[in-house]
Amino acid sequence: MAFINTKTKEVQVKLVFVGPGRGGKTTNLEHIFSRIRHRIESDMVSIKTQGDRTLFFDFLPFELGAIKGYNVKTQLYTVPGQVKYNATRKLVLKGVDGIVFVADSMVDRRENNISSLGNLKENLTFYDIDIANIPLVFQYNKRDLATEGIPILDVETLEEDLNSQLKAPSFTASALKGENVIPTVKKAISITIVGIRDKLL
């Protein structure tokens, strides 16, 4: 739930990048950070533990500026994609306002995408959130691999596997090359803030 302070005119929204392990979530955040670092005061933070590796994620906070008199602060998070880190994923999803699902376009990651989305649904249910009711953007990442001869899923298959019922906005992208990373996050922020506009107007 977005944090809205009507006295100080501040809004804080939390967006979480989720998806299968090694799908490019951190690369997305790193690219965003590299593009906006000159105009934000904050830094990208990676919280990790080396021993038990139970809790770690990336965190990128920044201020968008004023919208309708409210200073909008955005927090971007990634969660670890590996199956065994579900406790961390669940924890990071607490209070989430919007989601970017970074799917891996590689053919052999098809099942990982589907199971990761299923895991997201379960974790959101834990917080009484229906995935159909939360601002969500799909990003079909690693499209550049096709040029290297690596088989990738076509967009129709990805849409059918992941987005046939949700009908959320979706983007093809190459986070490594920075292609469509910014449009993805802009869309995610946009639909998330639009989702809370009733409280701002």
Give me the residues that bind another protein (CB under 8 A), please: 21-22, 26, 34-39, 46, 48, 50-53, 56, 64-68, 72, 80-82, 84, 178, 182, 185-186, 189-190, 193-194, 197-198, 200-201
- φ, ψ of residue 64 in degrees (nearest 5): -80, -25
Nearer to another protein, 57 or 140 (CB): 57
Write down the least CB distance from residue 151 to another protein, Å. 16
Cβ pair 102, 147 in contact under 8 A? no
Nearer to another protein, 34 or 125 (CB): 34
- Between the alpha carbon of residue 100 and those of residues 38, 52, 55, 166, 174, the distances in Å are 24, 27, 20, 13, 14
Nearer to another protein, 51 or 156 (CB): 51
Round to whole Å and give the CA distance between 141 and 118. Answer: 18
Write down the least CB distance from residue 110 to another protein, Å. 16
Nearer to another protein, 66 or 127 (CB): 66
Round to whole Å and give the CA distance between 35 and 29. Answer: 10
Write down the least CB distance from residue 34 to another protein, Å. 6
Write down the least CB distance from residue 36 to another protein, Å. 5
Cβ pair 166, 128 in contact under 8 A? no
